[in-house]
């Protein structure tokens, strides 16, 4: 954030220096952690292989899916106990504080790296990630006219077994963030640490190991499955690529078991994707993602193409599998109401930047950023009386183009409380309540300016 740094007051510069020295100390610690992680991951791989080989088919997944909220409180299995404890700890609601003053003297903590502080070493740490796409023009598209700033200075981290919901409207850079994390697209800046290792420096076996431990569930269940492969072949493909479970019969049994776990009929192992509904295809994608027992799955809007009733089933399934296997999720969605059912933490994105991040209770009960407040006010309430009383915040205008983002705060062209300062200076991500971070010069807890958001 070079431009941001130049706008800080001298007090903040002092704070930044202190943070810089802390960061240096952290780097040393990180090196040690990286060494530990390598040792751990080697033994984890052996354990995983053994686990897959000895796994017994689990009890049949109930098609009668229970409420999503109920899944959240279900007792975790023994193997996932530690993970579940970590997740629950991070669900502690943010301490309610009186509204901070609007001036720059607000006592906040400057965040120079990922703001959240999970108890365990993060499985994923994203630091100042940026991605620019060149836009070509000219008769034969030979000239790069300008750049699309799809992701700009995004930082967060995810603890093992935890879910971070990444929310924002269409085109704000969610998928690009996910793809850059998995190195499906090359980041323009910042770095991504997966299990303590920088993914940019990964080559050969290390890169393959990263692709083993980090999987992707795609947004479109129709386009993401190869129509020429049977679902048995699709689900077993990661095992073949990573040379695991080389015995064919054993592999078929395991795939049948996986299909059973995600609620599909194992007898359909030789059917093709076009013989399944959208929800069933998404279950195939989930079975494939879980085949290697990854540490992290990037779920890119996995339910947005599905009916509401099927959405609940798939969300329940993801929550149950997370408890069973201790997998962490980066759960991408454009709707805050979807992520609240599955996420311990939520990060809100606007035009390539993160504007607010908190544990989900803090964010939903007391949003600080005007954009988050507007998103929350758009969620319909089940109680019609409350719904009638509520003032919905309707943002004016369309989101600006990421090819020409506004200076200062990127949200200022649509913000109902923007000031001159907002047009000139980009607000830093600061702690506004316990473990609750917001990038706004005038951050105030909900409700904002007479709105009546009820949850
Ligand atoms: N390969 C590319 N070349 C040029 N621009 C791109 C490319 N991929 C994405 N973009 C642009 O980057 C921005 C962010 O795109 P991205 O797909 O990450 O958005 P998103 O938040 O996932 O949107 P949606 O919710 O619709 O999936 C958009 O403006 C998009 O047009
Ligand atoms: S910094 Fe200013 S423009 Fe940006 S969200 Fe806050 S009040 Fe609105
Ligand atoms: Mg997308």
CB of residue 104 inside a 6 A radius of ligand 2:
no
CB of residue 440 inside a 6 A radius of ligand 2:
yes
- Helix 278-290 / helix 231-241 crossing angle, nearest 10 deg: 20
Q: What is the token pair recorded at 380?
A: 């319909």
pTM, two decimal places:
0.75
In sequence order, the 6+-apart residues with CB closer than 8 A to the CB of 360 are 91, 165, 339, 340, 343, 344, 345, 346
- Confirm if 28 and 21 have CB atoms less than 8 A apart: no
Ligand 2 atom with the smallest distance to the CA of 355 is 5
Has residue 90 got a pLDDT over 50?
no
Ion ligand 3: protein residues whose beta carbon lies under 5 Å:
175
In sequence order, the 6+-apart residues with CB closer than 8 A to the CB of 409 are 415, 418, 422, 423, 425, 426, 427, 439, 440, 441
- Looking at residue 119, its pLDDT comes to 59
Give me the residues paired with residue 332 across strands.
166, 300
What ligand is nearest to the CA atom of residue 421?
2
Query: Mean pLDDT across the stretch 288-306?
Result: 91
Which pLDDT tens digit goes with each residue over 111-157?
Answer: 434 454 445 789 999 999 999 998 876 666 566 668 899 999 999 99
Radius of gyration over every alpha carbon of the chain, rounded to an integer in angstroms: 22
> What does the DSSP 8-state code read for residue 295?
S
Which pLDDT tens digit goes with each residue over 215-228?
Answer: 999 888 888 899 99
Which CATH homologous superfamily contains domain 52-111+158-178+199-438?
Answer: P-loop containing nucleotide triphosphate hydrolases (3.40.50.300)
CB of residue 448 inside a 6 A radius of ligand 2:
no
Query: Mean pLDDT across the stretch 191-206?
Result: 93
Q: Of 218-227, 237-246, 294-303, 431-440, which gets the smallest average pLDDT?
A: 218-227
- Confirm if 268 and 230 have CB atoms less than 8 A apart: no
Confidence of residue 71 (pLDDT cuts 50, 70, 90): very low
From the list 337, 341, 235, the residue with the least C-alpha distance to 281 is: 235
What integer best gives the mean pLDDT of the chain?
Answer: 76
What ligand is nearest to the CA atom of residue 407?
2
Ligand 2 atom with the smallest distance to the CA of 415 is 8
Give me the residues paired with residue 156 across strands.
126
What's the 225 CA to ligand 3 centre distance in angstroms? Answer: 17
- Looking at residue 253, its pLDDT comes to 95
- Looking at residue 144, its pLDDT comes to 61
Confidence of residue 341 (pLDDT cuts 50, 70, 90): confident
What's the 303 CA to ligand 1 centre distance in angstroms? Answer: 19
Q: What is the token pair recorded at 152?
A: 């700009």
Confidence of residue 180 (pLDDT cuts 50, 70, 90): very high
Q: Where is pLDDT greater, at 69 or 115?
A: 115
Q: Which residue has its alpha carbon closest to ligand 2 atom 1? A: 440
What's the 133 CA to ligand 1 centre distance in angstroms? Answer: 9
C-alpha span between 414 and 402 (Å, rounded): 15
C-alpha span between 335 and 303 (Å, rounded): 11
- Confirm if 455 and 361 have CB atoms less than 8 A apart: no
Which pLDDT tens digit goes with each residue over 28-37?
Answer: 344 444 444 4
Has residue 199 got a pLDDT over 90?
yes
Annotated domain spans of the chain: 52-111+158-178+199-438
Pocket test for ligand 2, best of 353, 425, 440 (most atoms within 8 A of CB): 440
Distance of alpha carbon 31 from the chain centroid: 25
From the list 124, 109, 106, 107, the residue with the least C-alpha distance to 19 is: 109
From the list 193, 176, 194, the residue with the least C-alpha distance to 185 is: 176
């Amino acid at each position: 954030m070079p431009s941001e740094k130049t706008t800080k007051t001298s007090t903040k510069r002092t704070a930044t220096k202190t943070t810089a020295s802390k960061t240096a100390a952290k780097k040393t610690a990180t090196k040690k952690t990286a060494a530990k992680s390598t040792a751990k991951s080697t033994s984890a791989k052996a354990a995983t292989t053994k686990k897959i080989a000895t796994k017994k088919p689990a009890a049949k997944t109930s098609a009668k899916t229970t409420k999503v909220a109920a899944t959240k409180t279900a007792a975790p299995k023994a193997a996932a106990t530690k993970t579940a404890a970590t997740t629950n700890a991070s669900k502690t609601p943010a301490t309610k504080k009186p509204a901070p003053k609007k001036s720059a003297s607000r006592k906040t903590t400057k965040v120079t790296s990922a703001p959240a502080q999970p108890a365990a070493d993060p499985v994923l740490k994203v630091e100042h990630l940026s991605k620019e796409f060149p836009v070509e023009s000219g008769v034969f598209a030979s000239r790069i006219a300008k750049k699309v700033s799809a992701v700009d200075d995004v930082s967060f981290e995810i603890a093992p077994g935890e879910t971070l919901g990444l929310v924002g409207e269409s085109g704000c850079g969610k998928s690009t963030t996910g793809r850059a994390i998995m190195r499906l697209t090359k980041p323009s800046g910042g770095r991504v640490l997966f299990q303590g290792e920088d993914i940019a420096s990964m080559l050969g076996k290390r890169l393959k190991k990263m692709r083993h431990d980090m999987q992707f569930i795609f947004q479109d269940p129709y386009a993401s499955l190869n129509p020429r492969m049977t679902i048995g072949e699709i689900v077993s493909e990661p095992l073949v690529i990573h040379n695991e479970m080389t015995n064919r019969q054993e592999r078929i049994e395991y795939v049948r078991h996986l299909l059973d776990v995600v609620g599909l009929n194992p007898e359909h192992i030789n059917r093709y994707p076009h013989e399944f509904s959208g929800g069933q295809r998404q279950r195939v994608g989930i079975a494939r993602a879980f085949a290697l027992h990854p540490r992290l799955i990037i779920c890119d809007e996995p339910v947005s193409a599905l009916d509401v009733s099927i959405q609940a089933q798939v969300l329940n399934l993801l929550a149950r599998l997370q408890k069973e296997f201790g997998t962490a999720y980066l759960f991408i969605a454009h709707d805050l109401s979807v992520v609240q059912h599955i996420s311990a933490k939520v990060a809100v994105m606007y035009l390539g930047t993160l504007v607010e991040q908190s544990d989900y209770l803090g964010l939903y009960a007391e949003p600080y950023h005007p954009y988050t407040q507007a998103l929350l006010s758009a969620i319909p309430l089940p109680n019609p009386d409350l719904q009638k009383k509520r003032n919905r915040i309707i943002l004016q205008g369309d989101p600006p183009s990421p090819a020409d983002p506004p200076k200062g705060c990127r949200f200022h062209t649509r913000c109902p409380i923007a000031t001159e300062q907002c047009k000139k200076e980009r607000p830093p991500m600061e702690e506004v309540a316990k473990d609750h971070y917001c990038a706004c010069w005038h951050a105030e807890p909900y409700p904002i300016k007479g709105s009546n958001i009820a949850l």
